[in-house]
Structure 1
């Protein structure tokens, strides 16, 4: 697991009470349109701007929607988070109880699914409406660590008046997103929340570490499942003969015959048995097998795609749709791949590895990272991407569907080419 930059809400060595007063002054000035005594952190500033565009009332105590018991149980089952619960509770519940905090787990839609920790703090949270089943997205309750982490897609800590709604100023929260290691999909957010007086700079690092441990254990479970599928796939491929591959439902390859070995192939959303065009192999016949799919290329020179639609209107689910004579194919993109394709769509003449590095990281020296990611993209999406320079193929029409506000384009992104 790579290192992630963590930015605590409380600067090192700062006095919490004095810093809270400064934040309150910044908050009041920002809401009244006066000159700011200091700038809020970028992640806070960006969220406050979103709240102003939404017309969020900083004095609102309106109750956010709450799921029924039946809806809550259904959300829990569908969240993909149940397998991570033992790790998250084992790593954070006792800490939450000792530190006068609660541990909160929300799904990708921002609904609070579980709360554990201090009974006294749970009661305080109840009075705020911070209960199981509530919608805790920014759109519902303003700037907060959970909702902002869902947008920013990175660990976030909020302290005191960094919260947009004043009734939350007595709280501090540290939240980290949890992703499905099989497909990079955002499963939800893990959070520690408590009274503002309990703020600590290391809380965010703790939440992030435990969340990443849970992701690691989910990855181990997946590898075990893939090995089980491999034991089934090898005799199936021997019986079928010819070029074929067996992959799980997320596209991870268990075994292949007569095809270049790859770790993963991009599969369309809602894959069904029958014929399908895949960027990696062209037109294929697809059959279900226990735990995955048997995929067999059916023609050598498949018709190449003629149109690509990059849809970034959804802040959490960017998609790439590829269309051609063989049909239409849609795949959900990871945040990084969405950024890279967006930049390439904006530069049809192409970008070198160093230019893409500057576009994405503000640093031309990270070209090795760019080349590795572009290699993955080109394996996934076949003939629609070229190299030297990296670009969409010249004979492919590229359409980008954007949200109405430029600030809402991939709001998680810090890439200079997108935020600049």
Structure 2
């Protein structure tokens, strides 16, 4: 079926696709497609790919189907989309891997050629702009016309897709998609696919509320056992009438401690399909001691144990120490890398830190949930007192001098300027000489010139450096 407005738009796209694929400037299509093309090109997608990659063989697909939360909703999705007899309907997981396919046999045969089939992955990072991958990337329904695909082999396909979100956890579960070998699907297709996804989410929400109600009834039957009732994902269901815990509590696992946002330490106990959160015996958490000033490698002591740190892990811990209320993965990524950061990388690094330091590094948001002693934080406190002798002893060099993190560079420069300014105004010859032994003070002309004019044994050494 052809639509006149689409015909003109298609002509524009045909003149746009080639320069876009070559990395040159192009006339912009719709904003959602322009943004998707840029993500796809940054991911290194080859427009001449012939098919989506096969990431799961059938044994893995069957296992994924059996355990996937959308499996019970397949009849509902099939019934909602049953009128689309000339297309293929696909349901994927959150990574864009096709788990189920149904629809026209003729279209399905052609779909096999490009990987619109079970076990093939349709994330943007695998095949570039497409209905499934772009809907998952943007977390909203999207229609992709034939010429809007980045891969040339898909220019005879059009698709409408909508993501499905878990109402319990807020995480993506997958995507429902309708595809066909047509320049443009009927305009109502996207609305129908979006409605199917919303119906699935409504059904999931209904089942979630039924589970919550079963848990509440069992919780209310408990007598004399104080606690707070949580869902398996950490949602607060009962026992917190004042709402002091918020909507959700991190769930580190049954029997383990967790630090609540008001600073209390609590312990999780399995209860029916969820958890009970009870006050844990007060045990002082091991402190973190960060030594990040100066030219030596960054060091950390956790309780009685000291371990070396990579620069990246030191940067993350420094940022968390500087932001005690916590940071999201996106905020950490921006502070570390600027606009080019990737939150996925941050989550992996945080996972490693939590493996080493346990509950000392908390999540949602990421924060240090234990006493923290850091040489750069102590230096900050000394700056407010304005005691030059104490500053000279505490300042052994710049904060993580090899770090290129925009936020740490800003903190490093600010500390350096304030320390230098205070010592030049009020420092004794010994204080200035101590600063002159630091990396930035060794060749500081103004500091050395001041020392050279002062009486004492430091004068000759300063004059030698000046000459």
TM-score by length of 2: 0.61
Pick aligned residue for 2:230 from 225, 235, 247: 247
SS in 1 for 2:83: helix
Partner of 1:311: 329
Distance 1:228 1:280, change over 3 A: farther
Instruction: Work out the CA distance in 1 between the residues paired with 2:199 and 2:229.
Output: 29
Higher-Rg member (1/2) = 2
SS in 2 for 1:105: strand
Following TM superposition, by how much is the alpha carbon of 1:107 offset from its aligned partner in structure 2, in angstroms?
0.3
Following TM superposition, by how much is the alpha carbon of 1:152 offset from its aligned partner in structure 2, in angstroms?
1.3
Which whole-Å deviations, capped at 9, do the CAs of 1:245-300 have from their partners, x for residues lacking one? 1111122333217x524796423254221432122562112211111111123479
Following TM superposition, by how much is the alpha carbon of 1:314 offset from its aligned partner in structure 2, in angstroms?
3.8
Following TM superposition, by how much is the alpha carbon of 1:184 offset from its aligned partner in structure 2, in angstroms?
0.5
Distance 1:286 1:167, change over 3 A: same
Following TM superposition, by how much is the alpha carbon of 1:315 offset from its aligned partner in structure 2, in angstroms?
5.6
Partner of 2:442: none
Distance 1:289 1:17, change over 3 A: same
Whether contact under 8 Å (2:131, 2:142) holds in the other structure is yes
Pick aligned residue for 1:215 from 201, 206, 221: 201
Q: Name structure 2 gaps, 5 residues minimum.
A: 288-319, 331-341, 370-379, 382-404, 406-467
Q: Does 1:149 align with 2:135?
A: yes
Instruction: Work out the CA distance in 1 between the residues paired with 2:347 and 2:74.
Output: 27
Partner of 1:260: 242
Following TM superposition, by how much is the alpha carbon of 1:74 offset from its aligned partner in structure 2, in angstroms?
1.7
Which whole-Å deviations, capped at 9, do the CAs of 1:373-401 have from their partners, x for residues lacking one? xxxxxxxx99xxxxxxxxxxx99xxxxxx
SS in 1 for 2:54: coil
Which whole-Å deviations, capped at 9, do the CAs of 1:196-222 have from their partners, x for residues lacking one? 245222211111111011101110111
Which whole-Å deviations, capped at 9, do the CAs of 1:286-331 have from their partners, x for residues lacking one? 2111111111234799989964343233469979999999733223
Pick aligned residue for 2:269 from 260, 277, 287: 287
Pick aligned residue for 1:68 from 43, 52, 57: 57
Following TM superposition, by how much is the alpha carbon of 1:91 offset from its aligned partner in structure 2, in angstroms?
0.5
Q: Which has the higher contact order (CA 8 A, sep 6+)?
A: 1
Pick aligned residue for 1:123 from 74, 86, 109: 109
**What number of residue pairs does the alignment pair up?**
321
Distance 1:195 1:83, change over 3 A: same
Whether contact under 8 Å (1:253, 1:262) holds in the other structure is no
Instruction: Work out the CA distance in 2 between the residues paired with 1:116 and 1:269.
Output: 38
Partner of 1:135: 121
Whether contact under 8 Å (1:283, 1:326) holds in the other structure is no
Bigger strand fraction: 1
Pick aligned residue for 1:182 from 151, 158, 168: 168
Whether contact under 8 Å (2:141, 2:160) holds in the other structure is yes
Whether contact under 8 Å (1:281, 1:297) holds in the other structure is no
Partner of 2:10: 20
Instruction: Work out the CA distance in 2 between the residues paired with 1:301 and 1:62.
Output: 56
Following TM superposition, by how much is the alpha carbon of 1:86 offset from its aligned partner in structure 2, in angstroms?
2.2
Whether contact under 8 Å (2:236, 2:248) holds in the other structure is no
Distance 1:109 1:270, change over 3 A: farther
Whether contact under 8 Å (2:156, 2:181) holds in the other structure is yes
Following TM superposition, by how much is the alpha carbon of 1:54 offset from its aligned partner in structure 2, in angstroms?
2.7
TM-score by length of 1: 0.67
Distance 1:69 1:280, change over 3 A: farther
Of the structure 1 ranges 202-211 and 190-199, higher mean CA displacement relative to structure 2 is found in 190-199
Following TM superposition, by how much is the alpha carbon of 1:144 offset from its aligned partner in structure 2, in angstroms?
0.6
Instruction: Work out the CA distance in 1 between the residues paired with 2:12 and 2:249.
Output: 50
Distance 1:62 1:123, change over 3 A: closer
SS in 2 for 1:167: helix
Whether contact under 8 Å (1:283, 1:302) holds in the other structure is no
Q: Name structure 1 gaps, 5 residues minimum.
A: 1-9, 334-340, 346-380, 383-393, 396-403, 405-420
Which whole-Å deviations, capped at 9, do the CAs of 1:118-163 have from their partners, x for residues lacking one? 1111111012221111111122222111111111111111001100
Report matched runs for 1:20-169 at 5 Å: 20-32=10-22, 36=26, 38-61=27-50, 64-92=53-81, 94-97=82-85, 100-169=86-155
Instruction: Work out the CA distance in 1 between the residues paired with 2:346 and 2:179.
Output: 27
Whether contact under 8 Å (1:266, 1:278) holds in the other structure is no
Whether contact under 8 Å (1:150, 1:188) holds in the other structure is yes
Pick aligned residue for 2:219 from 233, 237, 240: 233
Bigger helix fraction: 2
Instruction: Work out the CA distance in 1 between the residues paired with 2:345 and 2:189.
Output: 26
Instruction: Work out the CA distance in 1 between the residues paired with 2:171 and 2:345.
Output: 9
